[in-house]
Amino acid sequence: MKTELTNASQLAEIVRHERKRQKVSQIRLSQLADVGVRFVRDLEDGKETVQLDKVLAVLETLGIAVELSSLGDDE
């Protein structure tokens, strides 16, 4: 499934949905991704100023791939 993100709340919903689908608590996710529980909560709350490296760690832990493309790409 590909999703185009335009804001932090969309990313928050994807992370929350996938974490719950995998039946992983916020505490366990924070341990697996080596981030703080507060960070996971902030990410799932749609905080716009979270650290990118930590976001990527959480996404990788959940098995979510990130793909970037230019808005002008035809592919």
Between CA 74 and CA 5 the distance in angstroms is 18
How crowded is the C-beta side of 59, counted as CA atoms within 13 Å?
A: 15
Does the structure show a pLDDT above 60 at 75? no
The domains of the chain are located at 8-62
Domain 8-62 fold: 434 Repressor (Amino-terminal Domain) (1.10.260)
**pLDDT of res. 73:** 59
**pLDDT of res. 41:** 98
Q: What's the pTM value of the predicted model, to 2 decimals?
A: 0.90
Find all residues with CB under 8 Å of 17, minimum gap 6, and list them. none
Does the structure show a pLDDT above 90 at 33? yes
Between CA 32 and CA 6 the distance in angstroms is 27
pLDDT tens string 57-71? 999 999 999 998 888
Higher pLDDT, 51 or 71: 51
